[in-house]
Structure 1
Amino acid sequence: MRSIHDYYGELVFNKKVMEQKLSKNVYKKLAAAVDNLEPLDQTIAGEVAHAMKEWALENGATHFTHWFQPQRGGTAQKHDSFIDYGEGGQIIERFSASQLVQSEPDASSFPSGGIRSTFEARGYTAWDPTSPAFLLEAGKTKTLVIPSVFLSWTGEVLDLKTPLLRSISVLSEKAIALQKLIGNKNAKQIKVFAGIEQEYFLLSKEAVKNRPDIPVTGRTLFGNAPAKGQQMEDHYFGNIKENVLKFMEEVDYELYRKGIPVKTRHNEVAPNQFELAPLHQEANLAIDNNLQVMETLKNVADKHGLVALLHEKPFAGVNGSGKHYNWSIGDNTGANYFEPSKSPLKNISFLLALSAVLLGVKKFGGILRASVADAGNDHRLGANEAPPAIMSVYLGEFVNDLLDSIEKAGAFDETKVNEIILGVQTLPKINKDYSDRNRTSPVAFTGNKFEFRALGSNANPAEAGTTLNLLAAYGFDEIFNRISAKKEGDVKQIALEVIKEIIKETKSVRFEKNGYSEEWHKEAEKRGLPNTKNTPDALKQYFAKDIVAAFEKYKILSEKELKAKTEVKLENYIKIKDIEYKYAIKVINTLILPAILKQISKLAKASKNLGKIDIVSESINKNLNALVEIYDEVSGLCANLSKFVSEAHGEVLPTAEKYAAEGANFLNALREKIDVAEDLVADEYWPLTSYQKLLNAF
């Protein structure tokens, strides 16, 4: 049996392969572009393209594709073969520098939020050399995959990767400027790291056969709570069943071949729910890898007679699935700005980094919520397994007490500055997990990183990553300006004075207690913190003038691009809800109502036949009347929902708001009645596989 070392990264055009295939000079220039975010030297593109093609052909590839992340969600690709005409008209295999660096897919059918007209079809992909090319396998076919950005022909953003790369760049610029100001001469470039934990459900294909709502909507539209769900708490970290373990082993194998360092696998809280987590990597690569993880889960599940669900809330009454985006900032020296050190200067950096995050959440917490807003996640945020929609920061007892002590300190003189610096020098002696984790906090400090827990399972993490970077860039920029404005005195003393100011200013976003409690919702309202409960309300944050100004100032998205992105998200929300409502109507009319009618008919016949037995007749008639009432109510509500869907469409935002309010009320009312009917209709008539069978099929 091969060890992991034998096959790890075998499908990736990584540095090891580059070093073998490229000349020393070209390899050095390409490595600099990858490691230091330097512009790619166009003179080396030809040699890189040739080496990449030769490696791909050696490994059996016949096609190449630029792989990108459209705003609609998921990933996209258009495959082209390597074949071309040679000088004599014969077929040869060719892959040029221009083909590597840029491709021109038809962009007409991608949502653009009005950035361009439908008839303006041109868009182009551009190679992102910071994320390595890899091979995609499908049976005996292999394709060279080139991670790329996606832009309109006139240069506007049409994807989710471009804003992420821009946000990393501006964060590096602002953080390095602050480091230079406080005397750090060694830091030249900031690196942003991410570790993205992925939750998912596994279901038996056989059990899903009679759940047509799952393949269409990704979740169950109806379903009564199972007698045994997650209340026994026996699934979390429980023994992994053999067939699931075989699935997990193949997932790990495929991910290792793609150079994705998956580390952890375990049972999650809900029945048939699981989680995997990788080692931390630079954020851009971690996000690209997470998109591959989601595809791999689905593909491997299919081979094992399973269905992998990535919907945020596939079942009512049991936990939904999310991602935990572990985020940290470091520099070229290896320093982690969220990790205490024995160095006084580094601990000043630690406090400044914390302050930058607090400033960012205080100023732009609303868009942090908006970055994870979608139809699926609306079912999950605020439930028992996910943080509330209120964006707050949990620091833990020790760090929280440290900030309080700095806030309470009197005027800073040289002695006081030295005391504080000596105080923070004790931080490394504190265990990284000194404070308990707060699973109810959306932004929790966990020792040497922040854990952003509000992402939905199916989300592209690039949006959350972009927003966290923007918040931190704003914070570092604001701190730089404040320190620069105080021209006289020791820079460390001035930095601590600014930190003290920020600690006072940002107390409203610090919360150390139970984020699920009703008291917190009331308290958050008093503090003026946004609490947007659904996607349309959350996305309105992007229309605020200060939000638009920030995206433009830091050159992440122009006002036009930001408005377009928001419109795409709103349109996507409407489409998802529209599919759910229309399919609910179809399931009700073609499956649910006929099943209820069969049970009514059977009970009516039984009532007639057993009419002389009063006790039996009374019981039968009670159920019969209940079902007749439910049948009438479901029929009426279904007709109302159908009428609503046919009349709801108009301008994007008002339509989304209607779908979030009125449409959801109709579907919830229908579900309530139908779930009652499920317990009154015989199993032989009920057309949908029950929750009990879905969640206990293997």
Structure 2
Amino acid sequence: MYRKVVDYAEQPLEKMYGENSFSDAKMRERLPKSIYKEFKKVQNGDKELTIEVAEVLANAIKDWAIEKGATHYTHWFQPLTGLTAEKHDSFISPTADGSVILEFSGKELIQGEPDASSFPNGGLRATFEARGYTAWDVTSPIFLKEDNTGITLYIPTAFISYTGEALDKKVPLLRSMDALNKQAMRVLKALGNKDSKKVITTVGPEQEYFLVDKEYFEKRMDLVLAGRTVFGAMPPKGQEMDDHYFGQIKDRVAAYMRELDYELWKLGIAAKTKHNEVAPNQFELAVIFGTTNVAADHNQLVMETMRRVAGRHNLVALLHEKPYAGVNGSGKHNNWSMATDDGKNLLEPGKTPHENMQFLLFMTGVIKAVDKYAPMLRLSAANAGNDHRLGANEAPPAIISIFLGDLLSDILEKISNGEAAKGKDGVKLELGTDSLPKLPKDLTDRNRTSPFAFTGNKFEFRMVASSDSISGVNVILNTMVADVLKEFADELENATDKKAAVEKIIKDAYSAHKRVVFNGDGYAEGWVAEAEKRGLPNLKSTVDVLPEGKTKEVIDLFTKHGVFTEEELVSRFYIYSEKYSQQINIEANIMVEMANMQIFPSANKYAKQLADTIKSVKEVLSDADTVEQEKSLKAVLNNIKGLKEGIAELEKLIIDAQNTEGEYEQAKFYREKVLAKMEEARVYGDNLEKLVEKELWPFPTYEDLLFRL
């Protein structure tokens, strides 16, 4: 069942790493020098790709792929389902003599034409309008994938409609990267930077996931169809001992992780860290920083590879945000920063006064952006699964706040008050003068309760849903920061005294937006009241936050920077409203079927056994001798009754929900009525699990799912 994993002593890691990726090194090796230089200009955005260059590229890529055993190619894209999509075409071209030749043209490399009618479009086009286009993203490496279909060449692409609207996650992401680059470069030039030519955003995503034995998984309809359990009582031991966290990795899991690393490394994905997470059978994998759009592509591949490799080990990788009630759910940590093409991290505190001034300016820009556009940042982490996770004592609350740590907070507070700030050593900090000391890299402790924390030279956004693409959050991060940097650039470009202008910008921006900075315990009950006092929004659910995506302020933001059109934004409001309803509808119907077809028969059988026992005992002994058995029987019957009534009401609510007109109104009904009734009915089902004899219980329990691996 297990694939043989390479022996790294025989085949060194540095030699096999990236063997299935058409990397820059392979391009240099296989392309004529003039074509390579021309294509690098295309990748840097300095020139457009010509068909002549594309033909040479296509031939080199085809030869490499065929040498590796590839027979097909596909334009790999990321529609608004949150998953990836592909249509495979072979390289073969028949000849007149009945044989074939293998061909791959520049046009086939650059553009594809998949059916766009069945993908979510939110009213951007009619269902019968089927034509869509995929366009090669030249900045993301082409790669090979090995599976049961053989070896296929994958070309990362953007996906647009016939009339040019973005139908995917990649197009807005690329637009947002351009927007941030434009405004950040304006700021740098105004500060006197003559060396940097481009600003990119970088991301290092951390991916949390659960593993479950495939045998147990397949016996749970809810896990198979919805990815989470709609019934399930907590076992006597959960995660309270914290003995799983960072503990020794079990042999079966270690074998899985070893093969997962191997598959990712072959793709050129820099899987770096792996460990046990807090919940039993929960784990995490972290990847080294990369350019944002490449990081987004790689994270999609990480999730796909996790699932595929798990199957070879008779395991299933669960990426749902909350597969099990009562234990920690899974998220993604989106570690985000900005860097120049000549290697300067704009969120690095720096070694010189000038860099410190620059750092504090960009830092303040992020603070202002997060406060100003907090609802949009919250929206980037919204889905039906994440609603079960956010706000529990395992993940950040639904309130957006920033953790800076005491040192940075003190520096910015003093600047905003016009006071002389001091570093750790007591030296006064004066922007733009030689008395500004080097700020240490680790300015802060880590605050795991903060949704948006500064962690040395980057911000870690910890709210992202584990099953989602990271494209959405980074589109919003890039665009909102670009908007604030535009304000800064407008002011700096018109200033004669740059030092005074920078000081004023930092002072004014921090003073106006410091309400979003919170260095305390985000799990504490008092924080909710404090956040309300500060005027911070508390958008608790996906349904609460969805309308924020189409307000006038948001439409102005994204259209101003060319990231979304108004039509594209509104379409996503309808798409995500419908997606939410569909998810809850599936889960509700699963609950009905599991209750009717599995729990009731088992509970009734156990009730009959108890009744028969009581009757038999009474025939021999007195009524007083069956008191405890009768209590057990009554408890079982009461919970059967409660579950029966709850399920009957749930079935009626499902029908009412389906008859509710309007995508958002339907989503609200599912949230407020259907989901609430599901939670009520679940209590009775979970009570029955604790009462019914284990051998009669119809599906694996949490004990099986969490501790049998």
CA contact (8 A) 1:311 1:458 kept: yes
Structure 2 counterpart of 1:652: 663
Change in CA separation of 1:80 and 1:399 when aligned onto 2, cut-off 3 Å: same
CA–CA separation in structure 2 for the residues paired with 1:126 and 1:653: 32
Per-residue Cα deviation, 1:67-112 (whole angstroms, up to 9, x for no partner): 0100011100010111124476753211111111000001111110
Structure 2 counterpart of 1:233: 242
Structure 1 counterpart of 2:694: 683
Structure 1 counterpart of 2:359: 350
Q: Given residue 689 of structure 1, which amino acid in structure 2 is its aligned partner?
A: P
1:517 counterpart = 2:524: yes
Structure 1 counterpart of 2:515: 508
Change in CA separation of 1:424 and 1:501 when aligned onto 2, cut-off 3 Å: farther
CA–CA separation in structure 2 for the residues paired with 1:231 and 1:546: 44
Q: Of the candidates 235, 255, 261, which is equivalent to residue 252 of structure 1?
A: 261
Per-residue Cα deviation, 1:203-229 (whole angstroms, up to 9, x for no partner): 111222322211111011110011111
CA contact (8 A) 2:137 2:158 kept: yes
Q: Of the candidates 682, 704, 708, which is equivalent to residue 693 of structure 1?
A: 704
1:307 counterpart = 2:313: no
Q: Of the candidates 437, 441, 457, which is equivalent to residue 446 of structure 2?
A: 437
1:591 counterpart = 2:598: yes
Change in CA separation of 1:26 and 1:250 when aligned onto 2, cut-off 3 Å: same
Matches within 5 A, 1:535-684: 535-611=542-618, 612-649=621-658, 650-684=661-695
CA contact (8 A) 2:444 2:454 kept: no
1:425 shift after superposition: 3.8
1:317 counterpart = 2:326: yes
Change in CA separation of 1:550 and 1:640 when aligned onto 2, cut-off 3 Å: same
Q: Of the candidates 392, 405, 425, which is equivalent to residue 401 of structure 2?
A: 392
1:13 shift after superposition: 0.8
Structure 1 counterpart of 2:412: 403
CA–CA separation in structure 2 for the residues paired with 1:257 and 1:97: 26
CA–CA separation in structure 2 for the residues paired with 1:418 and 1:112: 53
TM-score, normalised with respect to structure 1: 0.96
Per-residue Cα deviation, 1:183-215 (whole angstroms, up to 9, x for no partner): 111121001111000111111112223222111
CA contact (8 A) 1:29 1:41 kept: no
Change in CA separation of 1:446 and 1:147 when aligned onto 2, cut-off 3 Å: same
Q: Given residue 536 of structure 1, which amino acid in structure 2 is its aligned partner?
A: V
CA contact (8 A) 2:352 2:438 kept: no
Change in CA separation of 1:680 and 1:411 when aligned onto 2, cut-off 3 Å: closer
Change in CA separation of 1:39 and 1:350 when aligned onto 2, cut-off 3 Å: farther
Per-residue Cα deviation, 1:268-327 (whole angstroms, up to 9, x for no partner): 000001111111111111111111111111111110111111110001111001110000
Structure 2 counterpart of 1:77: 86
Matches within 5 A, 1:51-200: 51-86=60-95, 90-139=99-148, 141-200=150-209
Q: Given residue 413 of structure 2, which amino acid in structure 1 is its aligned partner?
A: D
CA contact (8 A) 1:37 1:130 kept: no
Structure 1 counterpart of 2:4: none
Q: Given residue 408 of structure 1, which amino acid in structure 2 is its aligned partner?
A: N
Judge which range, 204-213 or 561-570, deviates more: 204-213
Q: Given residue 594 of structure 2, which amino acid in structure 1 is its aligned partner?
A: V
1:596 shift after superposition: 1.0
CA contact (8 A) 2:387 2:540 kept: yes
CA contact (8 A) 2:480 2:557 kept: no
Judge which range, 608-617 or 75-84, deviates more: 608-617
Structure 1 counterpart of 2:5: none
Q: Given residue 673 of structure 1, which amino acid in structure 2 is its aligned partner?
A: Y
CA–CA separation in structure 2 for the residues paired with 1:348 and 1:188: 20
Match of 1:454, SS state, is: strand
Judge which range, 283-292 or 345-354, deviates more: 345-354
1:478 counterpart = 2:487: yes
Match of 1:150, SS state, is: strand
Structure 1 counterpart of 2:6: none
1:124 shift after superposition: 0.7
1:32 shift after superposition: 2.5
CA–CA separation in structure 1 for the residues paired with 2:126 and 2:480: 33
Q: Given residue 620 of structure 1, which amino acid in structure 2 is its aligned partner?
A: Q
Match of 1:695, SS state, is: helix
CA–CA separation in structure 2 for the residues paired with 1:694 and 1:472: 42
CA contact (8 A) 1:341 1:425 kept: no
Judge which range, 657-666 or 522-531, deviates more: 522-531
The alignment yields a C-alpha RMSD, in angstroms, of 1.7
CA–CA separation in structure 1 for the residues paired with 2:95 and 2:405: 66
CA–CA separation in structure 1 for the residues paired with 2:101 and 2:625: 83
Structure 2 counterpart of 1:334: 343
CA contact (8 A) 1:638 1:670 kept: yes
Judge which range, 65-74 or 26-35, deviates more: 26-35
1:691 shift after superposition: 0.5
CA–CA separation in structure 2 for the residues paired with 1:178 and 1:417: 26
Change in CA separation of 1:424 and 1:298 when aligned onto 2, cut-off 3 Å: farther
1:660 shift after superposition: 1.1
Paired residue total: 691
CA–CA separation in structure 2 for the residues paired with 1:586 and 1:288: 37
Q: Given residue 467 of structure 1, which amino acid in structure 2 is its aligned partner?
A: I
TM-score, normalised with respect to structure 2: 0.95
Change in CA separation of 1:609 and 1:204 when aligned onto 2, cut-off 3 Å: same
CA–CA separation in structure 2 for the residues paired with 1:501 and 1:514: 27
CA contact (8 A) 2:172 2:564 kept: yes
CA contact (8 A) 1:406 1:420 kept: no
CA–CA separation in structure 2 for the residues paired with 1:395 and 1:638: 48
CA–CA separation in structure 2 for the residues paired with 1:140 and 1:90: 22
Q: Of the candidates 218, 221, 225, which is equivalent to residue 212 of structure 1?
A: 221
Per-residue Cα deviation, 1:437-479 (whole angstroms, up to 9, x for no partner): 1111111000100000001111100001111101210110111
Q: Given residue 383 of structure 1, which amino acid in structure 2 is its aligned partner?
A: A
CA–CA separation in structure 2 for the residues paired with 1:410 and 1:571: 52
1:410 shift after superposition: 5.7
Q: Given residue 194 of structure 1, which amino acid in structure 2 is its aligned partner?
A: V
Match of 1:647, SS state, is: helix
1:258 shift after superposition: 0.3
Judge which range, 371-380 or 475-484, deviates more: 475-484
CA–CA separation in structure 2 for the residues paired with 1:8 and 1:24: 24
Q: Aligned residues: percent identity?
A: 44
Per-residue Cα deviation, 1:245-271 (whole angstroms, up to 9, x for no partner): 111110000000000011111000000
Change in CA separation of 1:341 and 1:311 when aligned onto 2, cut-off 3 Å: same
Match of 1:328, SS state, is: strand
In structure 1, list runs of 5 or more residues that go unmatched: none
CA–CA separation in structure 2 for the residues paired with 1:343 and 1:88: 72
Judge which range, 66-75 or 337-346, deviates more: 337-346
CA contact (8 A) 2:402 2:452 kept: yes
CA–CA separation in structure 1 for the residues paired with 2:560 and 2:125: 23
Q: Given residue 683 of structure 2, which amino acid in structure 1 is its aligned partner?
A: E
